[in-house]
Amino acid sequence: MRAPATDRGRLLLLGCLVAAVTLFTATVPLLRDWFDLRVYYGTVNTWIHHGGRVYDYRVPGTPYGFTYPPFAAVTMLPMALVGLRTAIATALLLNLAALAVVVRVLAGPGWRRHGWYGAVLAACVLALFEPLRDTFSFGQVNLLLLALVLTDGWLLASGRGRRAGVGIGLAAAVKLTPAVFIGLLLVARRWRAAAVATAVALAATAFAALVAPDASRFYWTQALWDTSRVGRLGYVSNQSLQGVLARLGVDGKAVWAVLVVVVLGVWARRARQAVGAGDWQAAFALTGVTACLVSPVTWVHHLVWLLPSFAVLVRAGHARVAGALYAVLCTSVVWLWFDDASGIDGFLGSNTYTWVTLGLLLFLPVGHLRAERRPTSHSTSATTDPPSTAAPAIAAACDQPGRPSTAATGTAAECATDRAPASATGPAAGLGRARSASSDPTGSTRPPAANPQSSSSRASS
């Protein structure tokens, strides 16, 4: 399908699309009433203004409270200075800014060529993505952490690896799951970046211990090991391997531990392959996918970590596959099994997002992302043409760490076999191209409403 050729046609198309997306988001996925943000806000206010303890706070009418490391509470201290509405508005702006950073990093410099039409079209497509909808309406921090991590990915892919590690370290100090990206730095043998990330995470944790020693002691000795604080593992929103096992009635940790080891083994092999090919975008995408699988709890909104994978698929020339998988994650299909996940249909349907995540881990293309074919013949005049504007990008891609140096002659041709074509647009550019409403939020008690997607369906995590 071709885009309208005139501005009038584009405006008409975008008007219809915006109306459809607005109707969809207003009717299908009910807002979550900023539940997680209310947890953050209530925790900080109780701590600062009423002398309460960080991990003792509970949202009124629920058993759920703060579950992040103490450093996360420290970073949220400014909320104690403002009202709840201001905190909500600030969270929206921060998430929008983080989303802009994520899109910019994944799309690469080519995003400008699409102008206002491409920007509005991308906004409509992103608005349909269930993990993004949940992140905004819960007031979650996932996008902020993803932006921090991808910034480090961009630094590594663009040859600025000496500055990398700070984003990953901060993200790991706020929430434990991004610590998997330190593992990626170790797998890639980026010792300096891994050391920086580890040092930043430890320094942030130590700072939190100075500010809130009692909270730090309680978290690292008790709260961290109590998964019941987060929510019911078998709840349908938990789209991790542990969630699949819990819905099957498998309570022991042994099976889960074995699956985690297998997944980490597959990830390490594929991540090394991606890094060896200079494909940092695929390496970071695979790590985000792995983090979602091995975490004991991966609520639907955590799946924003899959966004880099869709960028990799598009850049690799698999736009239809990316579109199909992306569409699945827009449907909220897993909620059809909210009440009963038994039987074959329950096993397959209630874990749909987990199957998508597992498929991305196993089959995400790495390295040779729709390599440009060399022409079978060239006229001698081809070597005397003026250099194209893509030459700096090609040269940069060839100079990635871990890639063998190439001679001056044939450099562009050799690199063309291991990078996306210069004509790739949107997410096709990516990291590699930089260098080339009940009171129970977890469903542990059934809400009286028939709609399973009320704002009360899960816990803060």
Judge contact between 376 and 304, C-beta under 8 A: no
Q: What pLDDT is stored for residue 163 in this prediction?
A: 86
> pLDDT tens, 398-410?
344 443 333 333 3
Judge contact between 208 and 71, C-beta under 8 A: yes
> pLDDT tens, 272-291?
999 999 999 999 999 999 99
The amino acid at 220? W
Q: What pLDDT is stored for residue 29 in this prediction?
A: 57
| CA 64 from centre of chain | 24
Size of the chain in residues? 461
Task: Please state, in angstroms and rounded to a whole number, the distance separating the CA atoms of residues 183 and 364.
Answer: 19
**Model confidence, pTM:** 0.78
> pLDDT tens, 94-148?
999 999 999 999 987 766 666 777 778 888 889 899 999 999 999 999 999 999 9
Contact residues for 328 (Cβ-Cβ < 8 A; gap 6+): 352, 353, 356
Q: What is the mean pLDDT of residues 6-27?
A: 79
Q: What pLDDT is stored for residue 111 in this prediction?
A: 64
* More confidently predicted of 419 and 366: 366
Q: What is the largest CA-CA distance in the chain?
A: 79
Mean pLDDT for the chain overall: 80
Task: Please state, in angstroms and rounded to a whole number, the distance separating the CA atoms of residues 192 and 160.
Answer: 12
Q: What is the mean pLDDT of residues 63-79?
A: 93
> pLDDT tens, 221-270?
988 887 667 778 899 999 999 999 999 999 888 999 999 999 999 999 99
Cα separation values, 197 from 108, 161, 193, 457, Å: 24, 12, 6, 34
Q: What pLDDT is stored for residue 451 in this prediction?
A: 41
Q: What single string gives the DSSP state of each residue in 211-271? A: H-HHHHHHHHHTGGG-GGGT--TTSTT--SHHHHHHHHT---HHHHHHHHHHHHHHHHHHH
Handedness of CA 197, 260, 320, 367 (dihedral sign): positive
Task: Please state, in angstroms and rounded to a whole number, the distance separating the CA atoms of residues 353 and 361.
Answer: 13
Judge contact between 181 and 168, C-beta under 8 A: yes
Q: What pLDDT is stored for residue 288 in this prediction?
A: 97
Lowest mean pLDDT among 19-23, 39-43, 356-360, 437-441: 437-441
In the numeric block, which tokens belong to residue 58? 């509970």
Q: State the number of CA atoms in the 13 A half-sphere of 379 facing the CB.
A: 4
Q: What pLDDT is stored for residue 230 in this prediction?
A: 74
Q: What is the mean pLDDT of residues 147-172?
A: 93
Residue 382 has pLDDT above 80, yes or no: no
The amino acid at 318? H
Lowest mean pLDDT among 57-61, 352-356, 424-428: 424-428
Judge contact between 151 and 48, C-beta under 8 A: no
Q: State the number of CA atoms in the 13 A half-sphere of 117 facing the CB.
A: 13
Handedness of CA 196, 199, 202, 203 (dihedral sign): negative
